[in-house]
Amino acid sequence: LAWLVDRPNVMIKIPATKAGLPAVTEVIGAGISVNVTLIFSLERYREVMDAYLAGLEQAQAAGLDLAGIHSVASFFVSRVDSEIDKRLTVLGTDEALALKGKAALANARLAYEAYESVFGSADAATRPGDRFTALAGARANAQRPLWASTGVKDPAFRDTLYVEELVAPGTVNTMPEATLRAAADHGDVRGDTVTGGYAQARADLAAVERLGISYDEVVEQLEQEGVAKFEAAWQDLLDAVTKSLDSKGVDGE
């Protein structure tokens, strides 16, 4: 795909499943930029960063120019709230209902904290880890966090929630069109809304766990559902292309 598109800004999308992690390393090692997608858990995100660094080390050993290799780590946001909030609603207590809309932001903010521990912070308050420091000397790029699934699913929430509350240096926010238009119309971007919130983020996730909602179970379920959705979309695409080719004949006539 990278050869076929033949553009310096192409990124090949690889899911952050257990099977996808070694593929990320190998593709980065071949000098091909990657969008690592379908990340829900903090543990898996750390594994994604490790896979990226391992790929850069392979690319460096092969004599490739690291400056031309890029990557983003697509951390999914709103689906976390959709699943956890559904469980909080079932519980129905005041404590449970007060936590609605908090888990996804907490998860994403702690992901950014993990990013800073590996790649360093923009204000130099947190230095990069040793592995990336060595690679940065060879002009390697940090793997940027990308907020995916940032459209608000619950109409009770502000429609720009996952934009305004996830502003931090070096991040990418892939908004659906409706969210993009809402942010342009009435978004209140007031600077960094991530790095000062790590303690509260940990407290919010801990509060959810105390109510009997398992973080590990939720993120595992979301990954499995995400893979199933990707598979279904891929099959739909193949079916549509096959149908189109069959209707035109082998020679395209």
Question: Residue 225 corresponds to which amino acid?
Answer: E
- Listed residue (12, 76, 10, 82) closest to 45, CA to CA: 76
Q: Which residues contact 15 (CB under 8 A, 6 or more apart)?
A: 36, 37, 38, 226, 227, 230
Task: Using CA atoms of 164, 166, 169, 170 in order, give the dihedral in degrees to the nearest 10.
Answer: -120
Does the pLDDT value for residue 65 go beyond 80?
yes
What pLDDT does 124 receive?
79
Is 126 in a helix, a strand, or coil? coil
Average pLDDT of span 29-51:
97
What is the model's pTM? 0.92
Average per-residue pLDDT for the chain: 95
- Segments making up each domain of the chain, as ranges: 2-248
* Active-site position among 13, 18, 86, 102: 13
**Amino acid identity at 20:** G
Q: CA-to-CA distance for 56 and 135, rounded, in angstroms?
A: 7
Dump pLDDT digits (tens) for 180-239. 999 999 999 999 999 999 999 999 999 999 999 999 999 999 999 999 998 999 899 999
* Among 100, 98, 96, residue whose Cα is nearest residue 85: 100
Would you place residue 174 in the very low, low, confident or very high pLDDT band (cuts 50, 70, 90)? very high
pLDDT at residue 236, as a whole number: 95
Rounded to whole angstroms, the Cα distance separating 229 from 209 reads 27
SS3 50: helix
Active site residue 100: no
| Number of residues that make up the chain | 253
Nearest-Å Rg of the Cα atoms of the chain is 20
Q: Which CATH superfamily is domain 2-248 in?
A: Aldolase class I (3.20.20.70)
Lowest pLDDT segment from 36-40, 70-74, 86-90, 119-123: 119-123
What residues pair up with 118 in beta bridges, in sequence order? none
pLDDT band at residue 121 using 50, 70 and 90 as cut-offs? confident
Q: In 3D, which of 170, 234, 169, 226 has the Cα closest to residue 37?
A: 226
Residue 104's pLDDT band, with cuts at 50, 70 and 90, is: very high
* Beta bridge partners of residue 36, listed in sequence order: 14, 73
The pLDDT, as a whole number, for residue 251 is: 56
Res 122: pLDDT: 83
pLDDT tens-place string over residues 124-171? 778 899 999 999 999 999 999 999 999 999 999 999 999 999 999 999
* Position with higher pLDDT, 15 vs 248: 15
Separation of alpha carbons 247 and 191, rounded Å: 53
Which residues are 34's β-sheet partners? 12, 71
pLDDT band at 243 (very low <50, low <70, confident <90, very high): very high
d(Cα 28, Cα 183) in Å, to the nearest integer? 33
**Which pLDDT score, from 0 to 100, does residue 250 have?**
56
Cα separation, 117 vs 177, in Å, equals 32
